Structure 1
Amino acid sequence: MPSVPPAPVRTPAAARFRRAAVPLALCAGLTVGLTACAADPDEGTNGVGRLSAPEIEKEARTAADAAKAVRLSGTLVSKGGTFKLNMRLKQNGAAGSVTTKNSTFELLRVGDALYLKADAGFWRHDEKGDGKAGEADTEAADKLDDKYVKVPSDDPSYKQLRGFTEMDQLLRGLIGLHGDVVKGDRDQIGGVRTVKVKGGADGEGGTLDVALEGSPYPLQFARGGGAGLVVLSEWDKDFPLAEPSRDETLDYGRQLPRA
């Protein structure tokens, strides 16, 4: 009788290897290549990353328009200079600070009532341009030091200062992309996964980071041409607003100094 070859020895390790090899072989044979078995980058997200760039931008704008509050912080570069903002904003008011090249001041708006608070150096006049303030200005500045001053609504600076406290106005001006909108890379802002949307292939029209978790809020905007970077956080988190008490305020008069 012909001899029968011995049956192969089936060890547990060999069985595990065969089980692992089957899905690998299937994956390698797919026409789309090995990437078909890679993790889905949008798994566990709000799904916005699957949309086209214009659709992502639209979703971000819709979420921002519906929000009741936001914190905006960062730097803006314009013809008028460089501004650093740290403002908490909502529809009926705002509170925060603005820093320019020469000074820092606080703004508080409750409805139409707008208040400005700064140190004595902010209020001092230098009429002669010699770096020295007059005695009267120095005395007035010392009284105004760290006090809230109500900005008269007919003062030339009222409209400009109020612009820093208007939520809708700031968001429209700061998160607008220019040029053909294209989808960029994935990233993280403040620990939240984002997808980038760029104005132009190189982001010359701005780059917007949109949240891939929760509501698709815009979380960061880099203005084109190095014109500033702003971070948007604390979306829809309410905060208290109240006009300052009498002992916290001083009346400067009908018109603020040009400083």
Structure 2
Amino acid sequence: MSAVPLRRGRRAVMVSMVCAGTMVATLGLTGCGGGDAPPDPDQGTNGVGKLSATEIQNKTRLAAERAAAVRLSGTVRVKGQGYRLDMRLSDRGGTGSVRSKGGTIRLLRIGEKLYLKADSSFWTHGTKGSETTPEKAASDRAAAEKLDGKYVKVPAGDPSYQQLSGFADMDLLLDGLITLHGTLEKGERGAAGGVKTIRLTGDRGAGGTLDVSLEGTPYPLRLVRAGGAGTISLSDWNRDVPLKEPASSEVVDYGRALPAS
């Protein structure tokens, strides 16, 4: 039996070993028959990053509509007025705080019932600068002290009811907040609250940006509103929101129109 084929076989094995060693030494660089494929950025995600911008928007809207609860925190501007929100909302109502130039108020909405709690400065700020007598000013301060830290049930007919109840209405807030304006495009991948996201933009950011979760359900996680109208974080999706009506001893009647907030 000839030894030539055997030597050729050994030579082929040695060439293969040298080639493999070269690839390892160069950390996988090509040189012996091609390189590895680039990593898939969507590996281990929910896959929405592969979709078009419109498809992603539809999925995140549907996810938000089906959710039972969410927490919204951040800043918004409505008709020129700035607010800082920290609201926990559910399909049954909501609770949390709203801060504006008039002070900080706590809201509690259960169904159609709306309660407001604020310190005495909130109840008196609406009368500042208005024409009043010393006697009336003293009366207003005394009434405000009685309201300090107490819940006031906001009548449905009060001018402030519609505005204030909107801050504690999950469907209304989400519908208004997660809307982007202009031409919709898919942006870069990033993160919000430590969660991987894909970004949607309206008019390349001028119409707002929305970060959508690439982990689990594609919930909206962060919104930068168009025109500098605020930035909102959306978290605690589907986490239970305890809602309990205040005891009668904690509720007082304001007896007149609430101050403009």
Equivalent residue for 2:141, pick from 128, 138, 141: 138
Asked if 2 retains the 8 angstrom alpha-carbon contact of 1:27 and 1:37, the reply is: no
Sort the Cα spacing of 1:258 and 1:229 in 2 relative to 1 into closer, same or farther, 3 A: closer
Sort the Cα spacing of 1:257 and 1:180 in 2 relative to 1 into closer, same or farther, 3 A: closer
Equivalent in the alignment of 2:74:
74
Sort the Cα spacing of 1:27 and 1:17 in 2 relative to 1 into closer, same or farther, 3 A: closer
Asked if 2 retains the 8 angstrom alpha-carbon contact of 1:152 and 1:254, the reply is: no
Equivalent residue for 2:214, pick from 200, 204, 212: 212
Structure 2 counterpart SS, 1:37:
coil
Q: Give 5+ residue unaligned stretches, structure 1.
A: none
Taking the aligned partners of 1:191 and 1:164, their CA distance within structure 2 comes to 26
TM-fit CA distance, 1:208: 0.5
Equivalent in the alignment of 1:55:
55
Equivalent residue for 2:155, pick from 152, 156, 160: 152
Instruction: Give 2:257's aligned amino acid.
Output: Q
TM-fit CA distance, 1:247: 2.1
Q: Deviations over 1:23-58 (max 9, x none)?
A: 6438985xxxx7x72211100000000001111111
Asked if 2 retains the 8 angstrom alpha-carbon contact of 1:75 and 1:229, the reply is: yes
Asked if 2 retains the 8 angstrom alpha-carbon contact of 1:186 and 1:196, the reply is: yes
Equivalent in the alignment of 1:179:
182
Q: Which moved more, 1:145-154 or 1:13-22?
A: 13-22
Q: Give 5+ residue unaligned stretches, structure 2.
A: none
Equivalent in the alignment of 1:224:
226
Asked if 1 retains the 8 angstrom alpha-carbon contact of 2:72 and 2:233, the reply is: yes
Equivalent in the alignment of 2:235:
233
Q: Which moved more, 1:209-218 or 1:133-142?
A: 133-142
Asked if 2 retains the 8 angstrom alpha-carbon contact of 1:126 and 1:134, the reply is: no
CA RMSD of aligned residues (A): 2.9
Sort the Cα spacing of 1:67 and 1:27 in 2 relative to 1 into closer, same or farther, 3 A: farther
Equivalent in the alignment of 1:99:
99
Taking the aligned partners of 2:144 and 2:32, their CA distance within structure 1 comes to 75
Percent identity between matched residues is 51
Equivalent residue for 2:30, pick from 25, 28, 42: 25
The size of the alignment, in residue pairs, is 248
Sort the Cα spacing of 1:219 and 1:134 in 2 relative to 1 into closer, same or farther, 3 A: same
**1:169 aligned onto 2:149:** no
Asked if 2 retains the 8 angstrom alpha-carbon contact of 1:116 and 1:151, the reply is: yes
Structure 2 counterpart SS, 1:25:
coil
Taking the aligned partners of 2:47 and 2:55, their CA distance within structure 1 comes to 12
Instruction: Give 2:196's aligned amino acid.
Output: R
**1:88 aligned onto 2:88:** yes
Q: TM-score, normalised by structure 1?
A: 0.86
Asked if 1 retains the 8 angstrom alpha-carbon contact of 2:221 and 2:233, the reply is: yes
Taking the aligned partners of 1:45 and 1:193, their CA distance within structure 2 comes to 8
TM-fit CA distance, 1:79: 2.6
TM-fit CA distance, 1:157: 1.0
Equivalent in the alignment of 2:202:
199
Instruction: Give 2:214's aligned amino acid.
Output: L
Taking the aligned partners of 1:56 and 1:142, their CA distance within structure 2 comes to 51
Sort the Cα spacing of 1:212 and 1:26 in 2 relative to 1 into closer, same or farther, 3 A: farther
Asked if 1 retains the 8 angstrom alpha-carbon contact of 2:196 and 2:214, the reply is: yes
Asked if 1 retains the 8 angstrom alpha-carbon contact of 2:23 and 2:32, the reply is: no
Taking the aligned partners of 2:47 and 2:130, their CA distance within structure 1 comes to 61
Instruction: Give 1:162's aligned amino acid.
Output: S
